[in-house]
Structure 1
Amino acid sequence: MGSLFAWLFFLFLLAFSPVRSEPVQDRSALLAFIGAVPHEQRVQWNASVSTCDWVGVTCDPNRTVVEELHLPGVGLVGPIPAGTLGRLTSLRVLSLRSNRLSGPIPDDLANLTLLRGLYLQDNQFSGEIPPGLGRLGRLARLDLSANNLSGSIPYALNNLTHLTTLRLENNRFSGSLPSISIDSLRSFNVSDNGLNGSIPRPLSRFPASAFAGNLGLCGAPLPPCNPFFPSPAPSPGSEVIPGQRSKKKKRLSAGAIVAIAVGSAAGVLLLLALLAICLAARRRRRTAAAGGPKGGGAAATPAGAGARSGDTGMTSSSKEEALGAAGAGAAAGEAERNRLVFVGKGAGYSFDLEDLLRASAEVLGKGSVGTSYKAVLEEGTTVVVKRLKDVVASKREFELHMEALGAIDHRNLLPVRAYYYSKDEKLLVFDYLPAGSLSALLHGSRGSGRTPLDWESRMRVALAAGRGLAHLHSGPHLVHGNVKASNVLLRSDLDAAVLSDYALSPLFGTATPPNRIAGYRAPEVLETRRPTFKSDVYSFGVLLLELLTGKAPNQASLGDEGIDLPRWVQSVVREEWTAEVFDVELMRYQNIEEEMVQVLQIAMACVQMVPDARPDILEVVKMMEEIANRTEGTDEGLQISSDEPSRGGGSGGPTPPASRTP
């Protein structure tokens, strides 16, 4: 009986005693990491001890997964191997600060979707911020400061809607600051980088110290952006010699003072002598004009004898006047060469280059062909000035091309109003549209209080952009070469939205690929470096996908590494349900699913890999108009202009080839 009681007691203890689990998968990942990265002796992870008892490792209460890894200042050296830390899928905190880790930040850290804190500061990481970090939606603190990171700061950081701390200072980031608008963000710092342009308004609430050390940044809370425009070439003899100002500040020696005094006295005597000579000559001319002294005792001076200058019959005074006129003519010629040239309807403006030079300027953005500025002239006129870079066209080629662009007149194309060409500066002048770009409206802050862009508005803007592109292709037969959302500018009437930055590729040659935003670039342009009508159609198809999905193609936050927006859409449609593709902001609207699917079919036809498989833009616009007209229940309204008839497409609805349907 006693033995039976003892046996039952043993079973009771066995049943109710805690079972010690072990995070087997996380243990393997940690051993792979520490085995490949040199470190100090105090980080000795004993394989015979539970992973949860290792230095720097914190597990969950059940000891089944690793939740935190803290290894600050433990002498970790070299790159983080791929396939190690990225396997710790339950990790909440990763702190590797103050080590000597180098190389790129691993892309597979994007797998740590539960991560709340990522601390990689004070290392030697290089390369760009991995696009996948924008998918860590629960991340609250991100510190990448004091590394060697470069490239641009990705707009995809806006996806981190729970972020409270973002530290990127003391790196080598360049380009303009994206408009990061996260309501929860409390600590922000990008100081001591190579950033330029104006500070976006959502970030202006942070102190000036958060932006210090970026020589190209301006705008609140830093000093306002100064006028950028080049000053006219100085007249001959007025050039400022480098270092001259500093030399003037030096004390003059005694010898120099004496020399100046003697020179000044000599100058005064010379001026008095010249004055006496001029007075004597004046008296002689008056005597000669009066016929000589009374009585005619003196012989009259032969005509012009005392006034010849090199036997030209020109008096000294008339010669000076001619030289002055010649100088004025030369100055006029110089002014003519450096003048602001108005084209098309731009002649209606009343300002000139001098007015533009005095204008206050604000950086609007840095694009693929140059930097755009908002210039407010003294009389109140506001224009946009684009400062082109890397222009290889000659002055004559530039002038002829600008004249051709100035002749284009279409409600959905932003007209060129004027241009300026000099050896060092090439400027274009456009109308200023205060409503901003489609990119800013579509990808702006998606927090509370935002008014989403509804489907009807997106269709109206897409049609306006398509009509502008169709006019370029069918009218002046020009390739746009840079179709993207930031080049679609809005008006209060969305049907009057315009395409900007069109047909500028001929000015840059093939040294730099046109449309440098890779997400919009057709595959063949990577090889030929020359945009075509078909590559424009591809870019327009990407623009349609952007409107449908709400995703910016250059954010690269689309799942698998290196995947672009068209391929991501294809994979989602193929493996899941088509509705997963569409922007969540559109799902609140009723009875638009069928129309969105039809536009999706058109977009996928536009982004075919083979250029000849893509429709013409006129066909695309025709199909979109049929969708819009059928939705409105009318045959009027959204019709293309009479000077650009649509081709292709039936009257019953869009019919892209079956092979183009996702």
Structure 2
Amino acid sequence: MAFIIFFFLSLLQLSSRFNSEPTQDKKALIAFISQTPHSYRLKWNVSDSVCNWVGVQCDSTNSSVYSLRLPGVDLVGRVPPDSIGRLTQLRILSLRSNALTGQVPSDFSNLKFLRSLYLQNNRFSGEFPLSLTRLTRLNRLVLSSNNFNGTIPFAINNLTRLTGLFLENNTFSGEIPSITIKLVNFDVSNNRLNGSIPESLSKFPASSFAGNLDLCGGPLQPCEQNFPAPAPSPESTVPSSLVHQKSKKLSTGAIIGIVVGCVAGALLLLLLVLFCLRKRKRRQPPKSPKPVATAARSVPTAEAGTSSSKDEITGGSMESERNKLVFLEGGIYNFDLEDLLRASAEVLGKGSVGTSYKAVLEEGTTVVVKRLKDVVVTKKEFEMQIEILGKIKHENVVPLRAFYFSKDEKLLVYDYITSGSLSALLHGSRGSGRTPLGWENRRRIALGTARGVACLHVSGKVVHGNIKSSNILLRGPDNDASVSDFGLNPLFGNGGPSNRIAGYRAPEVLETRKMTTFKSDVYSFGVLLLELLTGKAPNQASLGEDGIDLPRWVQSVVREEWTAEVFDAELMRFHNIEEEMVQLLQIAMTCVSVVPDQRPSMQEVVHLIEGMNRGETDDGLRQSSDDPSKGSEGESRTPPRSTP
């Protein structure tokens, strides 16, 4: 009995651990944020668990704050004492890319478990914070791009686990101390350091020391050797009495010769010194400026090791830091432009409006970055349109999270959707190993897409303008659809890019090259439905005669009463779906009516798809299945003739 009681008490204690709230840590963070002006993006809800706050990560039992990451949230002023220093279980602290000033609080010495500290790109001042030299578990310390001054203390050697030390772009002076800990990354460039580089640091590249005009040795030019002391005068080896006797015998001419010789020697010595200084200056690399690209090169983030993608994503033409990555309201991410530039990038596709990249940030977050091309609007017009798009929130719309605007670069940041696009799923390899895209999935994709576009039209008052299968992204095992690349046409003018796939574009848009409308979106959606039903891409050569588009090809086949030939052969493997396929075909043909006024609205399209005959039994279960093994293999049943 006692054992049972002990067992249940242990369970209760374990349960309380997993449902605990780090109350003291919460109070410390409230003290910090209440005294520090900051961006509206944080919006910490004091009634919610601190573990759900933006930038805050708790340990597995929610008993303490494990990580605090607040980069680029416009924190201003001094870090208040008795706030962050109370987070005694903290492992990662990132306050970089803000406007924090003053000295680093001395109570940071309480963060005994801290492993990574990122304070770069702020306005901290004062001497090197000695409180940090007591954090013996620290393995990454980044103080670059601040206003720190004074000398670099020898006490850094107390940080025996430190592998990365970044102090560049400050005003540290004096000599570099002999650092004996095993550093992997080290940078003190662009300071005011002098003297010889310790041998223990000579393994690092010259770029780690550039911009310090009085440093020498190691990877830089060798230090100047001291001029040898002049040889002792012969007089110094002669007894003083003899010298005294000789001095009396020196003639006036001899004295003049000695003076002229000394002057000539001094001049030669001065010329030699000037020559050496000039030669040294030529070898010295010029002090590099402090643009965003430099910071991105030299300042690491949380878990370094991924390759930089700045040149891929931005083409190497990023402007200065005055143009920041701007997050839209309601975002879930917590990174800045520097993170984005350092992310590893993979090209997902090149479309009519720009190139899309999959960017994996060093902290593990994955987003999609779209690099726009040929944007013609002003910055104000761009920001107004993006603000409208950023407010659209719907489960069938890929949310726009952030943007960057400069003279040469315009970037958009979206969520990364894991399952790829409808185009890839529908038109991918159709070999023997392919899993057919079943009817239920196609119907679900059609309905989800319709709801997403309807949300754009009704809630956002936004025309999508570029509906096509590659812009329909799929989520999860059920292939839930989300529309992407919406509302960008106004950024380009004259109806948007002219190199878009014509097969989706409404006749009135092709003929007049005017801006797309709600009705032209309906037409494009109708073409997408036909693509789902036929398995054929709108620009596919197998449609028959040259120049025919998908709607006309479907009409021609149906007119000859070959309706079954319209549908994708993969769909013929499933049973009891013919009536629904024909109903969706009729909806699609209504959408692609040549006359815009004869097309339904997207809200009406949603109702039509939702109202399709579901073929349900009394117990609410479908008789048909997307598993072809449950029917006669290869059986094809001709559906009734449709009258689109």
What TM-score, normalized to structure 2? 0.47
TM-score, normalised relative to structure 1: 0.46
